[in-house]
A and B are shown apart, each in its own frame.
Chain A
């Protein structure tokens, strides 16, 4: 069984934040602000702890004699190199971190861009194979709508804005994904609400306690 104390604390904190949101001028308003400030600090510390854990995992992968992972060396070196360089620039009293930021971005951006280029190729390849892998009406509709929107968004039908029947048809087709997206987002919003309520009621506990 989980600890009732941690569950009670989590529920009480959740209730205070919720009441403070709905009734901001009440007595719980300042307590809510304080709790949210703590949450921001804790989130930053959690980020640091998780990154240290990540380097620890990769260090163990390097030192594993049976399944040594050499790629992990790059991660550990890159992390500690960036971390120490960041601290060094601060300690040396560099007034602006812009230069340091520029160096990091100059390395990070091309790597991320190349990964996105790989994604574009992967998606193009997957869309060619889609009808082989998925059977049924939904897959056909997905492919047809992808082709239709590629044509519309490429501007090939831009001459249609002067054609009497084509212009309202294109406008109508352009509205379809907006309607679909709103439907999905409404469902997600309702799902978010019930997930929050489950945690508030203590039936769902994303903590060990």
Chain B
């Protein structure tokens, strides 16, 4: 019961902080975020894909939003929406692949919403949000042909993957395409560090939409994470000290 109460306090504190930090501030927009070269390259690649008529592939991972790793898939959908809106008027709109049925349907829905918000609903094609495969390996096998077909020049891999995702990034690198990957899985992070053009670590997964300027709420959620991180660090140090002094057993 104590743990549940602590969880409830965390959720309420999170909501309050998110609301407060989402309010407009006097400081210049965009200066709150530290520079991450991977995101700089991604923004440039999105701009270039519109100019050059190349395509962007957004890989959303294999986890259903209803699973324990669902937050990674939800962050991936937020990134997809932003990429689709930035790229909706290009000659070759982005393709989203996923390794789960629910995620595939949500990716189609997200693409549809992006086109509607960009006043280009008639350009929406449901085939642009597709299931790669129903198992982790078949998903990679299904998404792999995109490295050599459909004029894809940039691969953005955001979500929950296994180390097998390295097959996509390795193939993309061989073709000279840019691959930017970020995942919540530790083995996949190691594989991606060795194979992807740009790889991001850990919680940077949840920063993709904020760095693509998705809105104040996304930037505020990064600041809430920072505040909570400081609280966790403080609690850990305090716990260690109390244990050292034998106050806490």
| Interface membership of chain A positions 123-145, coded 1 if the CB is closer than 8 angstroms to chain B and 0 otherwise | 10111001000000000001000
Binds B, one of A85-93, A165-173, A199-207: A199-207
Contact indicator A115/B215 (Cβ below 8 Å): no
Contact indicator A204/B104 (Cβ below 8 Å): no
Known A18-B11, A198-B218; judge A126-B225 contact (CB<8 A): no
Interface centre among A119, A181, A184, A209 (most CB of B within 10 A): A119
| Interface membership of chain B positions 184-203, coded 1 if the CB is closer than 8 angstroms to chain A and 0 otherwise | 10100101011100000111
- A39–B195 Cα distance when bound, in Å, is 37
B32 adjacent to chain A (CB < 8 Å): no
Shortest A127–chain B CB gap in Å is 5
- A18–B108 Cα distance when bound, in Å, is 27
**Candidates B7, B109, B127; contact of A207 at CB < 8 Å:** B109
Shortest B125–chain A CB gap in Å is 10
A153 adjacent to chain B (CB < 8 Å): no
A65 adjacent to chain B (CB < 8 Å): no
**Candidates B163, B167, B170, B229; contact of A190 at CB < 8 Å:** B229
| Interface membership of chain B positions 97-108, coded 1 if the CB is closer than 8 angstroms to chain A and 0 otherwise | 000111011101
Shortest B216–chain A CB gap in Å is 9
A97 adjacent to chain B (CB < 8 Å): no
A53 adjacent to chain B (CB < 8 Å): yes
A2 adjacent to chain B (CB < 8 Å): yes
Shortest A182–chain B CB gap in Å is 10
Contact indicator A194/B224 (Cβ below 8 Å): yes
B217 adjacent to chain A (CB < 8 Å): yes
- A151–B152 Cα distance when bound, in Å, is 40
- A75–B201 Cα distance when bound, in Å, is 35
Contact indicator A208/B130 (Cβ below 8 Å): no
- Which single residue of chain A is at the shortest CB-CB distance from B112? A208
Question: Chain B contacts of A118 at CB under 8 A?
Answer: 167
Contact indicator B201/A122 (Cβ below 8 Å): no
Shortest A33–chain B CB gap in Å is 15
- A127–B170 Cα distance when bound, in Å, is 11
Contact indicator A191/B205 (Cβ below 8 Å): yes
Contact indicator B229/A206 (Cβ below 8 Å): no
Shortest B122–chain A CB gap in Å is 15
**Candidates B64, B71, B145, B222; contact of A43 at CB < 8 Å:** B64
Contact indicator A191/B206 (Cβ below 8 Å): yes
Contact indicator A188/B205 (Cβ below 8 Å): yes
Shortest A21–chain B CB gap in Å is 8
Shortest B22–chain A CB gap in Å is 7
Contact indicator A43/B126 (Cβ below 8 Å): no
- Which single residue of chain A is at the shortest CB-CB distance from B127? A57
Known A115-B140, A187-B229, A193-B228; judge A51-B74 contact (CB<8 A): no
Shortest A97–chain B CB gap in Å is 17
**Candidates B7, B10, B189, B217; contact of A201 at CB < 8 Å:** B217
A49 adjacent to chain B (CB < 8 Å): yes
Question: Chain B contacts of A60 at CB under 8 A?
Answer: 127
- Which single residue of chain A is at the shortest CB-CB distance from B73? A206
Q: How many residues of A contact B (CB 8 A)?
A: 63
Contact indicator A50/B217 (Cβ below 8 Å): no
Known A198-B221, A209-B113; judge A126-B166 contact (CB<8 A): yes
B181 adjacent to chain A (CB < 8 Å): no
Contact indicator B18/A198 (Cβ below 8 Å): yes
- Which single residue of chain B is at the shortest CB-CB distance from A40? B66
Question: Chain B contacts of A27 at CB under 8 A?
Answer: none
Question: Chain A contacts of B218 at CB under 8 A?
Answer: 198, 203-204
Known A2-B113, A43-B101, A201-B15; judge A195-B131 contact (CB<8 A): no
B65 adjacent to chain A (CB < 8 Å): yes
Question: Chain B contacts of A203 at CB under 8 A?
Answer: 18, 22, 215, 217-218
- A156–B203 Cα distance when bound, in Å, is 35
- A115–B170 Cα distance when bound, in Å, is 13
The 7 closest A-B pairs by CB, nearest first: A47-B101, A191-B206, A187-B203, A192-B71, A50-B101, A203-B217, A208-B113
Interface positions of A (Cβ within 8 A of B): 2, 18, 21-22, 39-40, 42-43, 46-51, 53-54, 56-57, 60, 67, 69, 71, 75, 108, 111-112, 115-116, 118-119, 122-123, 125-127, 130, 142, 181, 183-188, 190-201, 203-209
